[in-house]
Structure 1
Amino acid sequence: MTGSEAREERVLEAVGQRRELVNDAIPEELPITDPERLYEASRYLLDAGGKRLRPTVLLLVAEALADVEPLSADYRSFPSLNGSDVDVMAAAVSVETIQSFTLIHDDIMDDDDLRRGVPAVHREYDLETAILAGDTLYSKAFEIMLDTDAQADRTVRALDVLATTCTNICEGQALDVEFETSSDVLTEDYLEMIEQKTAVLYGASSSVPALLLGADDETVEQLYGYGIDVGRAFQIQDDVLDLTVPSEKLGKQRGSDLVEGKQTLLTLHAREQGVDVDSLVDAESVEAVTEAEIDEAVAELEAAGSIDYARDTAAELVESGKERLEVLPDNEARHLLEQLADYLIERGY
């Protein structure tokens, strides 16, 4: 087994252990009550699964800060840095609830049929119920974050991060839509967009436990930076995987971003190298594109150095993020956070 394979196995085990705990906590924090159809729709994607990467980051940061053995403490009554107990599991469910709300609304905007191997919420239920379900999850996330039993001033700061994060996500989504019809997007514009759309929720996941547990401002800032760096790397890796992983493993048509004209770090770099990105694929729809067309497009992007550029950028971001973890004690949870960052750019589907 190679070092990369051993790291992946270790990370997947750590994520899997915490995912099960988060899965058990979700029905406690989001019970299905009246009106049942609304709450069933709200829970639908959460119950369908998911890696739970963001709540895993949150729980690992808490473990590292408290300098406890991984999985040894009660997340519902977790020791803060001043001796009082905090329900960090509630905070973990809160950030996953935000993630689910964004997925429901993304699928509505993109008119997607599937999510996590099941029909999208607006397909399984209806458009009106899906919109309400997303809105319900958005508001419930704040209710859940209020229930951590942290000191009032720390709770307020955590809620401020969560609110700003939601605003940033919407701004990033708006930029993503705008970029689809823009011809003058630069790589720095793209990096700003994915920071808002994707990375800020990782930033919240890594900084909120520090706030709730009473860490100093420098630690909070560095942990937020860790989340931003690895969150951007995660999105760039997704862009690479969209072109390089077979369709059957992706669960969707390979190269769909390219066919749909979405701006990515790869296509922006290719344009800067003189590649006519708009002519790489002639298909009018994702359903009409062939694997041969995608292969040819990927070959051109590789020749332009664009795929290597994206991978190198993601790797640099991960290294930057890992350096920020030096504010944490040197313990097992910190090492897992470092390995998780590496996994985010080494993973396949």
Structure 2
Amino acid sequence: MTEDSPTTLDAALRARRERVNEAIDEQLPVQRPERLYEASRYLLEAGGKRLRPTILLLTAEAVTGTAPMDADYRSFPDVDGTPVDVLSAAVSIEVIQSFTLIHDDIMDDDDLRRGVPAVHREYDLETAILAGDTLYSKAFEYMLQTGAPAERSVRALDELATTCTHICEGQAFDVDFETRGDVAVDEYLEMVELKTAVLYAAAASIPAVLLGADDETVDSLRRYGRSVGQAFQIQDDLLDLTTPSDELGKTRGSDLVENKQTLITLHAREHGVDVDSLVPTDDVEAVEESTIEAAVAELETAGSIDYAREAAVDLVEQGKAELQVLESGHARSLLEDIADYLVERTY
């Protein structure tokens, strides 16, 4: 990884994450009805790396050549010098992410998220649904508050709307795959692209749209986000099996218990592993750590863990190659480093 001189990559990410957190506090205050907005902010306050909005801010820096120490993200100069509020766009992306997590936890009936009770557990099902819907609609409000020229704002809104549609399509595929034993790798990668990677693609391409970059740059950044987003999901699938529950923030091995199709299980099936028998229960709370350990050992023996890791690394390399469209510099280096981090992280 390239160092973020004079600070580390971690420090660079932390600085931008703090700006996003401050903006969330400004733009999503607790107001009447208080319970709704408390629930809407609940996961946002529980933590999160803010990777997607950080990628958005770094892309803005890379597209315009603006140094981070000079960056006022609320009044960020576009290619013509006109100020654009890219921080509002970053908040928009992050609240969409939180909306998807709330609804995903409801659909999977998960108990934990980011180490705390899921929103529908902490509050109730009705409030959780409304909180997710509120975040979804707020995202479009925030994207309209950037002050970018009307044509670019409309294009960014179109990108956000299409992204949300794709996320729902990907989730529908994911649900369908739970009842199928014949899912192909290409189908899985399409599902991952729709469910997860498109939001990374939006985070990378929308600032380029708002700031007036050319179409080649926008398209390359979208491909960067899509590739690293797919890698992120594959790494998530790996971490679900290899990271203890207290570090993971949810029950370890829940994907296996819920019969989620992943690149790991698809490879294992192709190599003779009876994946359905690895965890003989559909109750996440009842599964024992030793059962998951044994399942992981069998998947490792089949080469499925290494296969998924190599696939994620390949996708990251594809994504980083797309950054050649940008001028070399500090922000581009950080975008390359974030891509590496997505498959090196341990939680």
Q: Residue 305 of structure 1 aligns to which amino acid in structure 2?
A: G
Equivalent residue number for residue 172 of structure 1: 170
**Do the aligned residues in 1 keep the contact of 2:115 with 2:250 (CA within 8 Å)?**
no
Q: Which runs of 5+ in 2 are unaligned?
A: none
Partner secondary structure for residue 33 of structure 1: coil
Partner secondary structure for residue 208 of structure 2: helix
Equivalent residue number for residue 39 of structure 1: 37
The yes-or-no answer on 1:204 pairing with 2:208 is no
CA deviations 1:85-117 (Å, max 9, x no partner) are: 100000000000101111111121122222222
Match of 1:143 among 141, 144, 147: 141
Partner secondary structure for residue 209 of structure 1: helix
Equivalent residue number for residue 49 of structure 2: 51
Name the CA distance, whole Å, in 2 between partners of 1:237 and 1:180: 19
Q: 1:152 to 1:190 in 2, by over 3 A?
A: same
Deviation at 1:224, TM superposition (A): 0.3
Match of 1:341 among 336, 339, 342: 339
Deviation at 1:296, TM superposition (A): 2.1
CA deviations 1:152-208 (Å, max 9, x no partner) are: 000010000000000001111111111001111111111000111100000000000
Q: Residue 282 of structure 1 aligns to which amino acid in structure 2?
A: P
Match of 2:257 among 249, 255, 259: 259
Name the CA distance, whole Å, in 2 between partners of 1:111 and 1:295: 23
Name the CA distance, whole Å, in 1 between partners of 2:327 and 2:280: 53
Equivalent residue number for residue 291 of structure 2: 293
Comparing 290-299 and 223-232, the one that deviates more: 290-299
Equivalent residue runs for 1:144-293 within 5 Å:
144-293=142-291
**Do the aligned residues in 2 keep the contact of 1:44 with 1:121 (CA within 8 Å)?**
yes
CA deviations 1:252-306 (Å, max 9, x no partner) are: 3322211221110000011111211111222442223233322222222112111
Count of residue correspondences: 346
Name the CA distance, whole Å, in 2 between partners of 1:46 and 1:291: 29
Equivalent residue number for residue 92 of structure 1: 90
Identity %: 70
Deviation at 1:238, TM superposition (A): 0.8
Q: 1:87 to 1:179 in 2, by over 3 A?
A: same
Q: 1:245 to 1:120 in 2, by over 3 A?
A: closer
**Do the aligned residues in 2 keep the contact of 1:11 with 1:343 (CA within 8 Å)?**
no
Deviation at 1:81, TM superposition (A): 0.6
Comparing 144-153 and 112-121, the one that deviates more: 112-121
Q: 1:166 to 1:187 in 2, by over 3 A?
A: same
Deviation at 1:334, TM superposition (A): 0.3
Name the CA distance, whole Å, in 1 between partners of 2:3 and 2:235: 17
**Do the aligned residues in 2 keep the contact of 1:207 with 1:220 (CA within 8 Å)?**
yes
Comparing 124-133 and 312-321, the one that deviates more: 124-133
Name the CA distance, whole Å, in 1 between partners of 2:288 and 2:2: 32
CA deviations 1:188-232 (Å, max 9, x no partner) are: 111000111100000000000000000000100000000000000
Partner secondary structure for residue 229 of structure 1: helix
Name the CA distance, whole Å, in 1 between partners of 2:27 and 2:66: 25
Comparing 172-181 and 41-50, the one that deviates more: 41-50
Q: Residue 17 of structure 1 aligns to which amino acid in structure 2?
A: A
**Do the aligned residues in 1 keep the contact of 2:193 with 2:229 (CA within 8 Å)?**
yes
CA deviations 1:306-329 (Å, max 9, x no partner) are: 111101100000000000001111
Deviation at 1:80, TM superposition (A): 0.3
Name the CA distance, whole Å, in 2 between partners of 1:212 and 1:220: 10
**Do the aligned residues in 1 keep the contact of 2:113 with 2:250 (CA within 8 Å)?**
no
Partner secondary structure for residue 181 of structure 1: coil
Name the CA distance, whole Å, in 1 between partners of 2:116 and 2:144: 31
Q: Which runs of 5+ in 1 are unaligned?
A: none
Q: CA RMSD in A?
A: 1.8
Task: Give the TM-score of the pair, scaled to structure 1.
Answer: 0.95
**Do the aligned residues in 1 keep the contact of 2:224 with 2:320 (CA within 8 Å)?**
yes
Deviation at 1:22, TM superposition (A): 0.6
Comparing 105-114 and 150-159, the one that deviates more: 105-114
Name the CA distance, whole Å, in 2 between partners of 1:257 and 1:294: 11
Q: 1:4 to 1:264 in 2, by over 3 A?
A: farther
Q: 1:4 to 1:237 in 2, by over 3 A?
A: farther
Q: Residue 266 of structure 2 aligns to which amino acid in structure 1?
A: L
Partner secondary structure for residue 130 of structure 2: helix
Match of 1:104 among 102, 105, 130: 102
Q: Residue 141 of structure 1 aligns to which amino acid in structure 2?
A: A
Name the CA distance, whole Å, in 1 between partners of 2:2 and 2:16: 21
Name the CA distance, whole Å, in 2 between partners of 1:27 and 1:20: 11
